[in-house]
Amino acid sequence: MAGPPWLADVLAAAMILTAGYAASRLAISRVLRVAAEADTDGLHALMGTAMAGMFLPQLRLLPSGVWAMAFGMAAVWFAGSALHIRRAPARWWQCRFPVPHLMECMAMLYMLLALPAAQRSAGMTMPGMGSSPGASVGFPALALVLALFMLGYLLWTTDRMATRARASRAPAAMPRTQLRALVTAPAAAPGDLASLASPSHTPGAPEEPLPPPTAGHPVLSAHFGDLSKIVMTIAMGYMLITML
């Protein structure tokens, strides 16, 4: 299955922008010490760079074997994260849904392992992008399953964006009511008030305070993060479909 040559250029440019955005999220969250999905941003920075080289050979930075090793280690990481969150909540810098990213790593491994055979037989950057019929070497059924998963992940991410948008508009639509205190507390000594005002006095709180939320910085907003995931998923789905 072949696609128009100009679409490969557009998708390669989109992957470069997505990789740059993921790298900027990773850097900003590191500098500002705010909560962000560092493992997801690192993965998408690598994925965008590798996929740009798949669409356009001029942008290929590393051999396919090196990329395969990187995404193999990433797959092990997200598989371990999926097992960890079943027993304990994710850390503040980890993603809460590692299974989709594990599937992204598996899709990258599939495309990278099928890529060298297509290059030897057709001399093209990706099977199906202007290559001769039959140049694609791999398992079309697996590519179809991965493409269907990318479609489901795209719909899930879009639904999350819509749900988050409705939730953000709901408080603004509610009428404001005057709040009244229902419980009175006895007067406390000034020393007790100072201890209560201290952040470290909260019972059961961890010794190291959690970083502030990401809503204060526009680059780290969940809306733009979901948009980058949608762009990445569309590009991966298209690439898998061209390998059928």
Going from N- to C-terminal start, the domains of the chain cover 5-168+213-242
> What is the rounded CA–CA span in Å between residue 80 and residue 31?
27
> Would the pLDDT of 14 be above 90?
yes
How would residue 135 be classed by pLDDT, with cut points 50, 70 and 90? very low
Q: Give pLDDT, residue 121.
A: 40
Give the residue among 133, 107, 139 at the shortest CA–CA distance from 121.
Answer: 133
> Would the pLDDT of 1 be above 60?
no
Q: Give pLDDT, residue 91.
A: 79
Q: Average pLDDT in the 77-86 region?
A: 91
How would residue 169 be classed by pLDDT, with cut points 50, 70 and 90? confident
Q: Give pLDDT, residue 216.
A: 54
> What is the rounded CA–CA span in Å between residue 173 and residue 122?
59
**Around Cβ 129, how many Cβ atoms within 10 Å?**
25
Residues 6+ apart with CB under 8 A from 121: 135, 137
Q: Average pLDDT in the 50-62 region?
A: 93
Q: Give pLDDT, residue 174.
A: 56
Mean pLDDT of the chain: 78
Residues 6+ apart with CB under 8 A from 234: 154
Structure tokens at 112: 């990278």
**Around Cβ 149, how many Cβ atoms within 10 Å?**
20
> Would the pLDDT of 41 be above 50?
yes
Least confident of 63-72, 87-96, 104-113, 219-228: 87-96
> What is the rounded CA–CA span in Å between residue 80 and residue 84?
6
